[in-house]
Amino acid sequence: MQVLRVSANSRPKAVAGALAAVLREDGAAEVQAIGAGAVNQAVKAIAITRGYVAPNGIDLVVIPAFTDIEIDGQQRTAIKFIVEPR
């Protein structure tokens, strides 16, 4: 499953386009975000993606969870969203 990382500076429409492309190609994707701003951008991107893939008959399901990732040798807690068709 392809992982898309979102920051607080990510543009939601750009992330949504990338997420829609991954969903069409692979069928599922994981979106990771660290921090409130990044989670906000990720949720907006997922909502926009829903509009992009709905005309193709795809309804999305999102499963949120916490995950530990390593950045620059430090363990950080991120929120991951597993996005897949219903």
Q: Residue 1 above 90 pLDDT? A: no
Instruction: Please determine, for residue 71, whether its predicted confidence score (pLDDT) is greater than 90.
Output: no
- pLDDT of 30 reads 95
Q: Is the pLDDT of residue 40 over 90?
A: yes
Say what the pTM is: 0.90
> Please, which pLDDT band fits residue 20 given cuts at 50, 70 and 90?
very high
Q: Coil, strand, or helix at residue 41?
A: helix
> For residues 15, 16, 21 and 22, what is the CA-based torsion angle, rounded to 10 degrees?
70
Question: Above pLDDT 90, what percent of the chain?
Answer: 83
The SS3 of residue 8 is coil
